[in-house]
Amino acid sequence: MAKVLIVDDSESQLFALTKIVEGAGHEVITAENGEEGVEKAIAEVPDLILMDVVMPGLNGFQATRKISKDKATAHVPVIFVTTKDQETDRIWGMRQGASAYITKPVDKGVLLDAMNKALNA
């Protein structure tokens, strides 16, 4: 069982992702924006982070850069889960240190596969 931090400003997305992740037997922590995501990542040091991109304030790309540059959380894999589906977004996301980039609406199998790969890397 892994501890997974889900960062998304949409309550419905948090609920849907939590259901998938908990259904796979993992513990879930949630954050509703990038700033809270960075704070919880540092405080909780999860095994994996699912990060939205489009959020008010600190966006997912910015939050991921902060998480990947902090010594306490640099080892934590981040998977972007976002509506931003352009190839340039995907490339930029991977450059921020993400281990995977998944577009919404989320396919449960694709998400769980990416999570398993990131957790077993």
Domains of the chain: 3-119 (3.40.50.2300)
Q: What sign does the dihedral 70-101-82-111 (CA atoms) show?
A: negative
Q: Is there a contact between 79 and 99 (Cβ–Cβ < 8 Å)?
A: yes
**62-116 residue pLDDT tens:** 999 999 999 999 999 999 999 999 999 999 999 998 999 999 999 999 999 999 9
Torsion of CA 14, 82, 107, 27, to 10 degrees: -40
Predicted TM-score (pTM) of this structure: 0.97
Enter the DSSP assignment of 24: T
